[in-house]
Amino acid sequence: MTLRIFRNAFLASLAAVIACTLFFVGIMYYSTHKLAFERLSAEAEQIASALSSYGDDYINTVTHASRVTLVAADGTVLFDNTADPSKMENHASREEIREALGGGTGECVRMSSTLLKNTLYYSKRLPDGRVLRVATTQDSVLSMSATALIPLFLGILLALALSGVLASRLANDITKPIYELNPEKTDALEVYPELLPLLESLLSQQRTIRAQMDELSRRQREFAAITENMREGFILVDNRRTILSCNRSGLVAISEHPRADEKTISRVWCKPQICDAVDCALAGERNEVLVDIGGRVVQVIASPVVSNLQVAGAVLLTMDVTEREQREALRREFTANVSHQLKTPLTSISGFAELLKEGFVPPEKVREFASDIYSESRRLIALIDDIIKLSRLDEGVPSTEREPVDLYELCDEIIEYMQPVAQKRSVSLNLQGEHVKILGVWSILNDIIYSLCDNAIKYNKPGGEVTINIKRSYGEVELSVSDTGVGIPYELQNRVFERFYRVEKSQSPSIGGTGLGLSIVKHGAQFHGARVELESEPGFGSKFTVIFPPESVIEDGVNENRTEK
Ligand code: ADP
């Protein structure tokens, strides 16, 4: 802009300089011209009056610098002080002579052949009809210009330099306020009020841009807050595998040692399966892989990002599916176990029934066979009951079924119920502690205590003891079932809560059990917000403690009691 203004200003001043120079030269030429004619006219007047006073001889005495010519009325040159009149042609056709013959005086300027000189002619008709002509030579415009060329050139140069400086200053003065234009300051308006609409539009644009920027950064913060707190990860890469955007979960999911400054997905720090999935997505195909990252199972879904019908990059979605996979594995294991556990008694039942049907069983053994079929089917029913209980716990029992349950009373009932079995195995049952009511589901609490007591009797030694104790401890309620039985090896103590897990795989059928009892205890406790602790020493006995949280305890009905059976 400055250059443009400078150029225009400079050209304008250059044009002004040239116009002034031409005008000046013209004026000069015109005034010189006029003065010359005035001088010639005065000279002609003076010679004419001298001729009338002193006669024609006077003309021979004229010694003027100007050329003097006397022409007859027919154009014949009678006298010329610079040439021989007899050799001169007839002047009747000359412009100044014709004018003088017609109007008394005549003027004419003729340019010489060299173009550098002009000849000025002034003619006056004498009273006798002849014409007196006075002529002088003068520099032509070109000649005058040439004479004044150097000062003119210097003057023009000076004018140009001055124009340059002034144009530059002018351009800077004009553009400076515009360069320093700040929509928030109105200084420029004092210099250019015309800029007001521009400033207003700039201000409104600035306000719009600021609002959009605020909105953008708000959304960015929101997006970052959402994505950073997401358990699922995402990573956006371009077609060179350069990471454009990602969240922390995304980086953590694809590497055991993620670094926040990683720029590309590479085999250096990523699992090869992930790199292959990215390559596949960049080739335009959606891909899904399960990767083991430091013991976690991560599902990675790589999809192509298509822009203008071309794959511009890929987006990776990662999910930690460890729990899902574990659940799936457990489910598969459970199904296999259930099938196996169901098949065993059913095969026995079917075998016994077939022998009976075919008449291979002697009459005295029929009772025994029937009893075996009965006990196998009881085992089957017990197993199915346990499976139903567990699946009910897995599905979630509606909390509306909760009611105040006095644990002491419940244990008392169970002990009463189990007494015959305990006596059969020569095991004594004890109940200690206080009446404590908790808000729970009676049937589940019954299953928990029953399973613990059943185990305590089953895995006891003849003459052993089982003690149930209910006590409060720091607001919590502890229900423990301890026995003096075989105990559980320390390294297996965590595993006994697994479904179908049994310490002795080949336990005698007379002991019974489905391998689901402690799973029901664990899940039943969890349903009540309780936890189960196990202390056991092989050869000395075990103690299972279910600890109910304070919030499940109902504060009335606290009653110290102690019973021994
Ligand atoms: P089961 O129906 O076989 O008793 P559980 O889930 O109740 O199944 O128990 C799992 C395993 O834990 C049992 O097979 C047994 O080996 C062991 N176990 C459970 N309770 C006791 C206990 N009180 N003393 C010793 N071992 C026990």
Q: For 35-59, what is each residue's pLDDT tens digit?
A: 888 988 988 888 888 888 888 888 8
Cα gap 168→182, rounded to integer Å: 23
Which pLDDT value is given to residue 112? 65
Q: For 158-175, what is each residue's pLDDT tens digit?
A: 888 888 888 888 888 877
Whether the Cβ atoms of residue 133 and residue 88 lie closer than 8 Å to each other: no
Q: For 265-320, what is each residue's pLDDT tens digit?
A: 777 777 888 888 999 999 999 999 998 888 888 899 999 999 888 899 999 999 98
Q: Identify the CA nearest to 266 among candidates 281, 255, 282.
A: 255
In ligand 1, which atom is closest to the CA atom of 499? 6
* C-alpha 234 chain-centroid distance: 14
* C-alpha 175 chain-centroid distance: 38
For atom 4 of ligand 1, the residue with the nearest CA is 513
Mean pLDDT across 216-220: 92
Which pLDDT value is given to residue 483? 97
Question: Ligand 1 pocket: which of 518, 521, 534, 536 to mutate (most atoms <8 Å of CB)?
Answer: 518
126 token code pair: 């004498």
In ligand 1, which atom is closest to the CA atom of 519? 6
Q: For 112-125, what is each residue's pLDDT tens digit?
A: 655 567 888 999 99
Spatial CB neighbours of 87, under 8 Å, sequence gap ≥ 6? none
Cα gap 331→120, rounded to integer Å: 130
Which pLDDT value is given to residue 461? 93
For the chain, give the mean pLDDT. Answer: 86
Q: DSSP E strands: which ranges in 411-552?
A: 428-440, 465-473, 476-483, 531-537, 541-548
Could you give phi then psi for residue 537, rounded to 5 degrees? Answer: -135, 120
Q: How many A from CA of 417 to the centre of ligand 1?
A: 20
Q: For 426-470, what is each residue's pLDDT tens digit?
A: 999 999 999 999 999 999 999 999 999 999 999 999 999 999 999
In percent, how much of the chain has pLDDT > 70? 91
Cα gap 101→91, rounded to integer Å: 11
For the chain, what's the residue count?
565
Question: Ligand 1 pocket: which of 380, 450, 455 to mutate (most atoms <8 Å of CB)?
Answer: 455
340 token code pair: 């196996």
Q: Is the CB of 484 under 6 A from ligand 1?
A: no
In ligand 1, which atom is closest to the CA atom of 460? 24
Mean pLDDT across 211-229: 88
Mean pLDDT across 8-19: 83
Which pLDDT value is given to residue 505? 61
Reported confidence tier of residue 400, pLDDT bands at 50, 70, 90:
low
Which pLDDT value is given to residue 304? 94
Question: Ligand 1 pocket: which of 450, 490, 491, 502 to mutate (most atoms <8 Å of CB)?
Answer: 502
Which residue type, as a one-letter code, is found at position 322?
T
For atom 13 of ligand 1, the residue with the nearest CA is 502
For atom 8 of ligand 1, the residue with the nearest CA is 515
Cα gap 478→480, rounded to integer Å: 6
Q: For 518-554, what is each residue's pLDDT tens digit?
A: 999 999 999 999 999 999 999 999 999 999 999 999 9
Q: Identify the CA nearest to 389 among candidates 451, 322, 465, 437.
A: 451
For atom 14 of ligand 1, the residue with the nearest CA is 502
Which pLDDT value is given to residue 67? 85
Reported confidence tier of residue 244, pLDDT bands at 50, 70, 90:
confident
For atom 7 of ligand 1, the residue with the nearest CA is 517
Q: Is the pLDDT of residue 188 over 70?
A: no
Whether the Cβ atoms of residue 89 and residue 76 lie closer than 8 Å to each other: no
Which pLDDT value is given to residue 122? 92
Residue whose structure tokens are 């079929």:
373
Give the per-residue SS3 of 359-376.
Answer: CCCCHHHHHHHHHHHHHH
Q: What share of the chain is helix, strand, coil (3-state, %, to 5)?
A: 50, 25, 25
In ligand 1, which atom is closest to the CA atom of 517? 7
Cα gap 83→68, rounded to integer Å: 10
